[in-house]
Amino acid sequence: DKYVTLPQVIVSFNLLLDKVESTIRQLDEKIQRTVVDEQLILGFQAARDKILKHYKKTNWIYCISLILDPRHKAETFDLTPWGVEIKNMSLQKFEVIYKTYYDQEPVL
């Protein structure tokens, strides 16, 4: 079976974000931080902010791709409270776009 790989982007984004945040936390908790540690913290914080900026703009697209993917569907989001919120927001956005561009009366 072949499936689209776009749903894997969500997993990759989240893994990357988790790693960046855990690295920031580890560096921040160091007792004797060096100047290099401070620079790394600033760099990782900038990376986190950039990831979140783009993620917030495109997250609904990835969520809709998961909902449309027969392996996942909407049930994937029902496992967590934040998943339900993201699912509902994504479906609303998708519905608006669908109605705007695709749900029109056929011209005869």
Task: Note the pTM of the prediction, 2 decimals.
Answer: 0.61
Strand residue runs (E) in 1-108: none
For residue range 28-72, list pLDDT tens digits in order. 999 999 999 999 999 999 999 998 888 778 777 777 777 777 777
CA separation for the pair 95, 92 (Å, rounded): 5
pLDDT at 89: 83
Average pLDDT over residues 12-35: 91
Tokens encoding 31: 């007792």
Map out the domains of the chain as residue ranges: 6-101
